[in-house]
Chains A and B, each alone.
Chain A
Amino acid sequence: MNFRECLKNDFIILDGATGTMLQKSGLKLGEIPETLNITRPEVVKKIHKDYIAAGTQIITTNTFGANRYKMKDSGFSVEELIGAAVRNARDAADGKALVALEIGPIGQLLEPAGSLSFDEAYDYFREEILAGTDVDVIFFETFTDLSEVKAGVLAAKENSDKPVVVSMTFEGNGRTFAGVSVASAALTLEGLGVDAVGVNCSLGPDELTPIVEEFTKWTNLPVFVKPNAGLPDPNSNTYNVLPEDFARSMSRIIDFGSVKLVGGCCGTTPEYIEKLTEVVKTKKYKKAEHNKDTAVCSATTVVELSEPRIIGERINPTGKKLFKEALKNNDIDYILSQAISQVNAGADILDVNVGLPEIDEKQMMVRVIKALQSVVDVPLQIDSTKPEVIEAALRIYNGKPIVNSVNGEEKSLASVLPLVKKYGASVIGLTLDENGIPKTAEGRFKIAERIVNRAKAIGINPKDVYIDCLTLTVSAEQEGCEQTLTALKRVRDELGCKTCLGVSNISFGLPNRELVNHIFLTMALQNGLTLPIINPNDEAMTGAVMAYKVLANIDKNSVKYIEKYNNAKPEKPKVISSRVTLDDAVISGLKNEASGLTNNLLKDTDAMKIVNEILIPALDKVGADFEKGRIFLPQLIQSANTAQVCFDEIKKHLTKTDGAPVSKGKIILATVKGDIHDIGKNIVKVLLDNYGYTVVDLGRDVEPQLVVDTAIEQNIRLIGLSALMTTTLGSMEDTIALVRNTEGLESCKIMVGGAVLTPEYAEKIGADYYCRDAKESVDTAKTVFGS
């Protein structure tokens, strides 16, 4: 019998703890449990046999930590350890039980929390999977990072045809250490096509009960449950739930429905499995009922599309000069600030489009998605016309995203839908095809139907297809609006699909566009629009969605509406006090005042004069005060940020009047390879920015070669490197050496800083300048650029 046939049984009994049993069999402190597969195979086999005798139907190999990272000091290779473990299990099973290849977390955190990349994680898992091919199923257990286990599942699916089961470990608050919610785990893993999902470890059966219940609400898959034998005593490391009580609690968990694979984790022994087997015999499997709507998610946040949700449209270079500049300059922070402001304004999901002919869209998309997911919790919509860009983003996306988009053209259907299926995403279906956009609602409905049917045919849940009925410009085709609205209504009522619309196109060419957009949005919502794609910073549009939810009886008791508008602070009047001067405003960190004052001055004062005679001296005063301990670091930064507002106004003014750019010089900043602590570098960036230098920020964990390539490409005269730890000073030295040995960079200066650096060490590794703090980096820049 194979695993998938086994799933047709009411229940499958798994085993209990391996570690607990190995300790009982005399595992020494510090001895690596996986090495026993080779050094004492009889001990491992005995444990398997004891579990089978107790009723276990699938035993797990003794390979929880058998990855290259954890085994580096074991004296054995991954192939040797896993090969031996699988042979031991097969021997012990002797055809009476199935064998699962057990895979645990690598033991290092993935980006952005740690420095391990998704691709490196994938390689670790692939190695394990290839070393253990003679198994019936692959179990991923005890994972806390959804991104890590996604790398594992992809490695399994792409290198093996075995079924895959994933179990994650949650805390009492229903989240993993990495913040992953139960619902996010269920949606993402079911999307990736695993055979069962569930929970193990961390808690006893009673504490796990609400977490299992939540799982059964969010998945259609069989659920896997392996609790600990209660909670451990921190000193004796013994567990507080006895076998009978364990079995009784498991019986209650089984009654929720959907729970099919049951066993035990830490502290459980064959005795627990024996009692569990007895209880399970008296039970009948049933599937839990649930009525969750289609949903998308990040690792931490699920957005159910049971009501209208706002998709923020601002991460898109089309028609946005500043955004295009940011993409060309690799200014990821600008893109992130756009994301944060949209989320604060009420966006539920963010569309991400970074397509620009001059840049490598695939590389940029991956970089931006990773960066966005490190600072915002909302789910993302991957927006590209290129399937290879979509796939690269789908691979590393942490959660269940939306793909924007597929359309009725054969080429699009054939290339996009398989990606949506493989990575378990939702998809926007545009109602156009080879023949363009049908004029009538009927024509668009037909295409929608075709897209949904094709999606269904390859196994995509039709509810995960969101149809875009397309907004046409009403000033060009006035009859078009009604067609769009009719199509919306039909898609909702007849196909049962969610819908989306880019709203603002409706008003193109008309005066007072906001008014038309606003009314059209309301009409569309009334006709079944689920996902308006809008600028959430536009108060009238976001407000219309909120008001609609009150009137449509979605926002119960108007709670959210009242919360938003009752607490709304009246906007600060932009009246400029005649007593505040620009240098006062910078010194006191008054952003609003500073912007107005700068504009007033620009009417009759030369821009460079404002920079050199007001802004820089004000910043110098603040810097000196900070050095002398008269102000705190956040106050220094607030002044710098206020100066930034002034510089932005000046830049805008100069662009209008074709004046010379105000940049005083271009500087590379990077936190060196291996180092992920970058707050110091970011403080330096803020200060340099605000003294009028252009900073090319390469981020953290930066390869030496990237520093050199960028320096040559952008003709850089000053490079700033930071390292926080003694262990990463070596990377700093390597980076400096590479710069020194590169032709064309002879005149390039290097400044270094970071907690553990000393002036002597800086000199020793060949740096030109040592900077004690951010203020000194500005002094260095002044020396290098002569202003």
Chain B
Amino acid sequence: MTDITINREEVLRYLGGADTKPDSSMYALLDECEKELSDAAAAKYLYKKVKLADSGLLLGEDIKKHLAGCEFGYAVCATLGASVDRLIRSAQISDMAKAVVLDAMASAAVESVCAQVDEIIADENKGKYLTWRFAPGYGDYPIELQQKLLTMLDAPRKIGLCASSEYLLTPSKSVTSVLGVSESPVEAGRRGCAVCNMAKTCKFRKAGTRCEF
């Protein structure tokens, strides 16, 4: 189990309010939610080095482009655990305002767990270069690969992370992804809007800003 950290700026971005600063009651709500979320979260992750050519993970054009030049890669998954889902569900009954804050925070928190995994993998690959994490559902990378990644990592048994018949991850505050290890520098920077499914309706783009994706 690992500790979670929560990037408040990211949380506030999820919650709208691009044109304002939170007032004291918003801060109080954020504090309250952060404590409850930290108590409920049981963050866990798994990662596994794979030889990409034999992995069965290279489906579609986007992932091949993304991992071009990488011989090895890592399958990664992370979850905050089932209690977080329960906390958010319960808040939806008793206090919806709190529920949306918890939901946004949990999304930020699972991202922070992945960032920790990135660091561990970077440590194991000193002198090499890592691509960013590419997840099933980005671009043309099939969502069905959720299941394959989970099986490969033995995630249902080891950290209680499963996929439903519709390939939704359960518990819901979870991610799976693939990243590549390259001998030469990879194009750094952000994933960007090009592979994002939300590009057409994104409220950040409409407002002329972008998220950190």
Contact = CB atoms under 8 A, between A and B. Distances in A.
Interface stretch (A121-129, A512-520, A673-681, A704-712): A673-681
Nearest to A108: B162
Contact of A631 (B16, B170, B172): B16
25 contacts: A108-B162, A109-B164, A116-B164, A169-B157, A171-B42, A173-B42, A177-B160, A179-B82, A337-B93, A374-B89, A375-B86, A629-B17, A629-B207, A630-B20, A631-B16, A633-B16, A634-B29, A634-B100, A634-B101, A635-B17, A676-B172, A725-B137, A727-B167, A728-B166, A758-B200
A633 B15 contact: yes
A677 B168 contact: yes
Q: Which of B54, B86, B97 has the most CB of A within 10 A?
A: B97
A572 interface: no
B93 A632 contact: no
A567 to B, nearest CB: 16
Interface of A: 29-30, 105, 107-109, 112-116, 142, 144, 169, 171, 173, 176-179, 201, 234-235, 333, 336-337, 340-341, 374-376, 589, 626, 628-638, 641, 674-677, 679, 682-683, 686, 725-728, 755-760, 772-773
A756 B198 contact: yes
Given A674-B165, A756-B198, A727 B94 contact: no
B85 A113 contact: yes
Nearest to A334: B93
B98 interface: yes
B166 A115 contact: yes
Q: Which of A114, A638, A675 has the most CB of B within 10 A?
A: A114
B74 to A, nearest CB: 12
Nearest to B12: A632
Interface string B9-26: 000100111111010001
A112 B54 CA distance: 36
Given A374-B86, A632-B12, A638-B97, A758 B171 contact: no
B166 A674 contact: yes
Q: Which of A337, A632, A682, A755 has the most CB of B within 10 A?
A: A632
A632 B26 contact: yes
Given A631-B20, A676-B168, A726-B197, A375 B203 contact: no
Given A113-B82, A177-B82, A201-B157, A679 B20 contact: no
Contacts of A340: 90, 93-94
B34 interface: no
Contacts of B86: 112-113, 179, 374-375
A115 B164 contact: yes
Nearest to A723: B166
A679 B100 CA distance: 8
B88 interface: yes
Nearest to B124: A235
Contacts, number: 163
Contacts of A628: 19
B53 interface: no
Given A631-B17, A633-B15, A634-B29, A725 B167 contact: yes
B166 to A, nearest CB: 4
B143 A725 contact: yes
Nearest to B156: A107
Nearest to B98: A634
Contacts of A760: 200
B143 A112 contact: no
Contacts of B143: 725-727
B81 interface: yes
B152 to A, nearest CB: 8
Q: Looking at chain A's contact residues, is the secondary structure mostly helix, strand, loop, or mixed? A: loop
Interface string B48-92: 010000101000000000000000000000000111011011101
Contact of B92 (A142, A641, A675, A682): A682
B88 A114 contact: no
Nearest to A333: B93
Nearest to A374: B89
Contacts of B163: 108
A629 B16 contact: yes
A682 B96 CA distance: 8
B54 to A, nearest CB: 8
A595 to B, nearest CB: 17
A375 B100 contact: no
Nearest to B87: A375
B15 A675 contact: no
A30 B56 contact: yes
7 closest cross-chain pairs (CB), A and B = A177-B160, A629-B19, A629-B18, A632-B17, A634-B97, A114-B170, A674-B166
Interface string B146-186: 00000010001101101111111011100000000000000
Contacts of B82: 109, 113, 177-179
Nearest to B56: A30
B93 A683 contact: no
A674 to B, nearest CB: 4
Given A177-B82, A635-B97, A679 B168 contact: no
A641 B159 contact: no
A604 to B, nearest CB: 32
B13 to A, nearest CB: 10
B93 A727 contact: no
Given A634-B97, A638-B97, A109 B201 contact: no
Given A108-B164, A675-B166, 16 more contacts: A107-B162, A179-B86, A340-B93, A374-B86, A375-B86, A628-B19, A630-B19, A637-B97, A677-B168, A679-B92, A683-B100, A725-B168, A726-B137, A726-B143, A727-B167, A728-B166
A414 to B, nearest CB: 39
A314 to B, nearest CB: 15
A337 B94 contact: yes
A380 B78 CA distance: 33
Contacts of B171: 109, 113
Contacts of B168: 115, 674-677, 725, 727-728
Given A107-B156, A726-B197, A633 B166 contact: no
